[in-house]
Structure 1
């Protein structure tokens, strides 16, 4: 699930598509029938290009930054046997402040059931994001291998992302979809390794196709199979690190570079402190970043279009 005993110590162009098959041995298409109308008046299977084909950075100059939805789970139904996630409300509040500062329209949901989570994700995918730069989703709960917990049960973690693929949410096609997940992914603990110095040395340019799975960034608090640590007073190590780094560098660094710094802060400045339970003591944690981004994400400041005072 998630460990809470810790007091984190703060030293803080060739085309080769015809007849191709995947490793499963079957030909796979996920286009959905061309010729039908989709959101924004585009035929199904097509989406509006939000930035030039060879652009290095995503277009972050739309009218709106976009939606940020925070799913925060502190309490769980009694039949689940899960404990209260103390400290998660601090994570929620700090994440809300962070993404508001980055220009997102933030919505917070607390302690939703699995069905309620799915309904909210589906509704979010059906919205028109044409005037938005990006999407951000923050999910905080208990977790296990390949599953996340709602208030009353589990769902496959892939469901968190699937609704927003390019063919399912065309108004976000070609735009960054950013996910930050604070949850355990197993029960393995990481004891870490001490390092020391070596003893001997002090299609065309106007139209192109992208994979439906492009433009995603999944930022998991821990690597597959491992615990994710949370301090009951200060919140989780991962969210603390995320907020600290993005608040400090978001005006000058791209997101993937910042996530490397998030990992560095997480790895160097946190360690479990519970000497009464030796098997839990002195443990470390690494975040797990999975990216299909094809451009850099910069949170450029939005220019106000309102009247001056």
Structure 2
């Protein structure tokens, strides 16, 4: 009896799998060979990355070079899990709001999205005919990878920024976005990025991931500081706080990222011969409202990527009947408001990096923010960051025959919804 033909098929080689994924991602792929004493050296060029492997023949060398590339490509090509349920689009929310306001002299129109520099741009115009004569008019720009996305982004921007809409709204009909932090059309955000690279393989990927979203997508002003000593970092923080206070009218928010080795006391700096740390309190002290009074009432978000101890966090199988626990982690609360802090892990535990993406926490933040920022505020997006980092099998691993994972956490005194808004300068 003949066997099923599918059972006779040989498994795809590593190179074939890499080649298929690279084609889907539109990444250029090329292989060079060198003859060596014991066989061949294959160099696989995958976009800007290179991977090497050796073997007794070209095929074996090529497949060995593809092993590491396959792992990295598989991670990058695996989509972030979608949020369940159907949510209203910004266009639908804006239409429903206008209907609730019942203002016949209020008009909303969209200019057809046009392609501009590799992305689509849509202009939304809101016009209010005033009873005393004349019109109030606003323009809100949306950008996206398609006409539809550009239109929705323009509606999302209008919901967050429109003074005309805000003037009509009261507590009974104010949409969610009516209680968000204000961002004027002349404003952008300011991001300070501090990265320690010593003994932290793939640390530069963290910078690239943050810059890709903060600077390239949002058009925030981004400042990168690498490997400062503690005194140098304190000076950078002081200088940044002074700049924010003196130029508060230019910025609607401040974001701070710091990536490095750490422990329960803080993040380690690179002081020679010393193991000095800078604590989160040391950082926050520069950005409280009494230090930058002109920035009072504006959101300030801090993202801390570091270990907070040496323990490995084990995973547990969820029981059939859950019981509430009374020993939840407690944080020391600062007195100032409008602050958001996101930690890559809970206190006492380790954080992890991966050669494919850099720090797992930073990668998931950038990926989820990039996808959801037009319609979702920061604290809601962080729920997805926590879920993906802690529960996605891609990021779980085994240590001493135990399954371990990473559990981010956050703390907030934000008093409004904090949306990331792309600058239209």
- TM exceeds 0.5? yes
* Counterpart for residue 286 of structure 1: 407
Q: Deviations over 1:8-35 (max 9, x none)?
A: 99686xxxxxxxxxxxxxxxxxxxxxxx
Q: Deviations over 1:195-218 (max 9, x none)?
A: 3667xxxxxxxxxxxx96100000
1:187 shift after superposition: 1.2
More strand by share: 2
- Matched ranges for 1:238-277 at <5 A: 238-269=361-392, 270-273=394-397
TM-score by length of 2: 0.52
Q: Deviations over 1:96-137 (max 9, x none)?
A: 111112231011111111111100000011112232100011
| Aligned counterpart in structure 1 of residue 214 of structure 2, from 91, 99, 120 | 99
Is 1:195 the counterpart of 2:318? The answer is yes
What 5-or-longer segments of structure 2 have no aligned partner?
1-70, 81-165, 172-177, 322-333
* Counterpart for residue 168 of structure 1: 291
- Indicate the structure whose relative CO is greater, using CA pairs within 8 Å and at least 6 residues apart: 1
* Counterpart for residue 146 of structure 2: none
- Matched ranges for 1:1-309 at <5 A: 56-61=179-184, 63-75=186-198, 84-100=199-215, 101-127=217-243, 128=246, 129-152=248-271, 153-195=276-318, 213-269=336-392, 270-273=394-397, 278=400, 282-304=403-425
* Counterpart for residue 25 of structure 2: none
TM-score by length of 1: 0.70
CA distance in 1, matches of 2:264, 2:405: 19
**Contact in 1 for aligned 2:196/2:269 (Cα 8 Å):** yes
CA distance in 2, matches of 1:111, 1:233: 22
Relative distance call for 1:264 and 1:150 in structure 2 (3 A) is same
RMSD, matched Cα: 2.5
CA distance in 1, matches of 2:186, 2:350: 40
1:300 shift after superposition: 3.0
Structure 1 range deviating more: 63-72 or 257-266: 63-72
CA distance in 2, matches of 1:155, 1:195: 37
**Contact in 2 for aligned 1:71/1:110 (Cα 8 Å):** yes
Could you say what secondary structure the match of 1:66 adopts? strand
1:144 shift after superposition: 0.6
1:154 shift after superposition: 1.5
Could you say what secondary structure the match of 1:151 adopts? coil
**Contact in 1 for aligned 2:190/2:221 (Cα 8 Å):** yes
Relative distance call for 1:285 and 1:181 in structure 2 (3 A) is same
CA distance in 2, matches of 1:169, 1:233: 39
**Contact in 1 for aligned 2:339/2:414 (Cα 8 Å):** yes
* Counterpart for residue 46 of structure 1: none
What 5-or-longer segments of structure 1 have no aligned partner?
1-6, 13-50, 76-83, 199-210, 305-309
CA distance in 1, matches of 2:253, 2:405: 32
1:287 shift after superposition: 0.6
**Contact in 2 for aligned 1:143/1:184 (Cα 8 Å):** yes
Q: Deviations over 1:38-86 (max 9, x none)?
A: xxxxxxxxxxxxx99x9621112252222101001012xxxxxxxx100
CA distance in 2, matches of 1:147, 1:300: 30
Q: Deviations over 1:209-244 (max 9, x none)?
A: xx9610000011001111111113421110111011
Query: How many pairs are equivalent?
Result: 236
- Larger Rg belongs to: 2
